[in-house]
Structure 1
Amino acid sequence: MRDLSQEPLPALPPRRPESHKGDFGRAMIIGGSRGMAGAVAMAGMACLRSGAGLATLGVPRCIGPVVAGFCPAYMVRELVDDEPGTLYWANLFDLVPVEHNYTVWALGPGLGEPDATAELSGRMNREWTAPLVIDADGLNGVALYEARYASAPLTPPGPRVYTPHPGEFARLAGDDALAEQATGDDDARVAAAAALAARDEGGNTVVVLKGHRTVVTDGARFSINATGNPGMATGGSGDVLTGVITALIAQGLSAFDAARLGVHLHGLAGDIARERTGAVSLIATDLIDALPTAFQNPNPDS
């Protein structure tokens, strides 16, 4: 595999003076559940702060007003929910016709228990040709769907970015040895993440194995991230990363380039936020507040 860790980072193209919001992509983020409205809201705010032209949040009807109240800049689409307040799989009948109305989709922030959402997550992953970023409960749902229902190897028909922490990686991999490898040193973690990405024979899958020195790989190349700090070990940090990567894909970057740049900027925002708040007091919304500074100077040491 080619190591890109020391190579120049991908960059967004300059914005033309005559640009309009449609030029910077339309993102749809599916997530949220009763008690977890903030996760999808933070993903949406991070997506807009990272340059997406338009962001729509598809959320359970029961939390629609709460999600809308966090930020007036994104749109909210209320979807059918079940009794526990999670998204019902039959929403697919309404979402399939609008799949290509959006440049990129994201799935997972605050989505809820995978027992309730596995069919939604698993079928989107297997059927969507549009780019799809999957995190958190979305990954757990995919893992459960594959274990319960899949009768053929998983080969997603479009670009995918999976952003697991080690626990989610273990469930997604379904392999104890690979899961243990994902908690090892840099070489072991690169090998584990690459092995998971390489299961996709179509080459559409990028794995972002989160943690200290996050690994980004598509199975043929990899990068180890150097930004970030322990203050980012706080609830919602991963939701912000989902929003950042989603926005970069919306603006035209490939899945691998968006993941690599997004991980760097997310960690850099964490470093900026730590200087403002200290590591102990850092919370996920501080990352969103620091994103503008990170985007303005993505290579502060160069």
Structure 2
Amino acid sequence: MNSPIVIDRNEILKRYKTIDKYTHKGIQGHALLVGGSYGKIGAVCLASKAALRTGCGLVTAFVPQCGYEIVQISVPEVMVVVDDHEKYLSEIALNLDVDAIGIGPGMGQKMATQKAFHDFLSNNNLPLVIDADALNILSHNPSWMALVPPKAILTPHPKELERLIGKWHTEEEKIGKTVVFSIVNQVVIVMKGAPTYIIDGQMIYRNTTGNAALATAGSGDVLTGMITSLLAQSYKTIDAAILGVYLHGLTADVALPETGYQSFIASDIIANIGKAYLSFGL
């Protein structure tokens, strides 16, 4: 197994692209966040707002009807498209010109939602981030991995990873099984944890930012929005994953002197993305 490449500031600056001063929202990328169900619309709000803060020009959220007003009021900069169903996603029908899609936050696992996800995978060839309930649906239906486009980014926390690759007994075995899963399915895996590893086939990257403050509800939803945003801005898949994870962790490092560990919440990640970017000094 290859020893991990350490993701530090120098590694990030090789990948980070500065903004053209003549750019406009139409060429800064359009990200789509798909998810939400009754009682879990907040996940899509967090992901959508994070996508905007990370720099893409346009963001659309696709949610059940019960999420329409919530997203419009919570994040007025985000456009909203709704499913036919009131409380959960039943058909992911998109007639939108978008550059990247993040799917799963708050989505739930209703049978109609599972079918909608299957049909979506069958028809999608855009850059994709798969998280949360979308990962759990895949673990229930392993044959659907064949429908996942090459170079999609999967962002499991430890329990979601276990459902995908099976149990492990050592850290080395966990990474080994994840490498095999990545190679077989041609996907990039963000193994969320302390530290977070990014697996791209045989290539293993270890993130160096972040602290215990990130162990809070919604933290993963924010990461999904950030990585989807970077994909929409035309970053290469592996660079979007690496930069997204690094920035996400850096927000907690930047905020810690003011928030401490206990009072830091997912919205604080979003609020500190700007400071994290500024710390690059470019």
Structure 2's unaligned 5+ residue stretches are none
2:246 counterpart of 1:234? no
Amino acid paired to 1:283 = I
Amino acid paired to 1:87 = L
1:246 maps to what in 2? 228
Q: Distance in 1 between matches of 2:228 and 2:80?
A: 17
Q: Distance in 2 between matches of 1:211 and 1:241?
A: 12
2:104 counterpart of 1:108? yes
1:230 shift after superposition: 1.1
1:272 shift after superposition: 1.7
Q: Distance in 1 between matches of 2:109 and 2:145?
A: 24
Summarize the Cα distance change of 1:189–1:275 in structure 2 as closer, same or farther, 3 Å threshold: farther
Among 158, 168, 178, the residue aligned to 1:180 = 168
1:196 maps to what in 2? 181
Q: Distance in 1 between matches of 2:56 and 2:229?
A: 5
Q: Where does 1:53-132 land on structure 2 (aligned, <5 Å)?
A: 53-81=57-85, 85-88=87-90, 91-92=91-92, 94-95=93-94, 97-98=95-96, 101-113=97-109, 115-132=111-128
Summarize the Cα distance change of 1:272–1:110 in structure 2 as closer, same or farther, 3 Å threshold: same
TM-score computed with the length of structure 1 as normaliser: 0.85
Please tell me whether the aligned partners of residues 248 and 269 of structure 2 are also in contact (alpha carbons under 8 angstroms): yes
Please tell me whether the aligned partners of residues 60 and 86 of structure 1 are also in contact (alpha carbons under 8 angstroms): yes
1:287 maps to what in 2? 269
Please tell me whether the aligned partners of residues 210 and 248 of structure 2 are also in contact (alpha carbons under 8 angstroms): yes
Amino acid paired to 2:41 = A
Q: Distance in 2 between matches of 1:126 and 1:255?
A: 20
1:277 shift after superposition: 0.7
2:8 counterpart of 1:8? no
1:2 shift after superposition: 6.4
2:278 counterpart of 1:277? no
Q: Distance in 2 between matches of 1:117 and 1:130?
A: 20
Amino acid paired to 1:118 = Q
2:135 maps to what in 1? 139
Summarize the Cα distance change of 1:153–1:71 in structure 2 as closer, same or farther, 3 Å threshold: closer
1:249 shift after superposition: 0.8
1:260 maps to what in 2? 242
1:21 shift after superposition: 0.7
Structure 1's unaligned 5+ residue stretches are none
SS for the counterpart of 2:146 is coil
Q: Which moved more, 1:129-138 or 1:152-161?
A: 152-161
SS for the counterpart of 2:261 is coil
Please tell me whether the aligned partners of residues 168 and 174 of structure 2 are also in contact (alpha carbons under 8 angstroms): no
Amino acid paired to 2:179 = A
Q: Which moved more, 1:3-12 or 1:66-75?
A: 3-12
Amino acid paired to 2:146 = L
Please tell me whether the aligned partners of residues 195 and 219 of structure 1 are also in contact (alpha carbons under 8 angstroms): yes
Q: Distance in 2 between matches of 1:211 and 1:277?
A: 21
1:36 maps to what in 2? 40
Amino acid paired to 2:163 = R
1:114 shift after superposition: 5.1
Please tell me whether the aligned partners of residues 16 and 243 of structure 2 are also in contact (alpha carbons under 8 angstroms): no
TM-score computed with the length of structure 2 as normaliser: 0.91
The alignment's C-alpha RMSD in Å is 2.1
Among 122, 143, 146, the residue aligned to 1:154 = 146
Q: Distance in 1 between matches of 2:129 and 2:121?
A: 9
SS for the counterpart of 1:63 is helix
1:47 maps to what in 2? 51
Amino acid paired to 1:256 = I
1:155 shift after superposition: 5.6
Q: Distance in 1 between matches of 2:248 and 2:174?
A: 20
Q: How many residues align?
A: 278
Identity across the alignment (%): 35
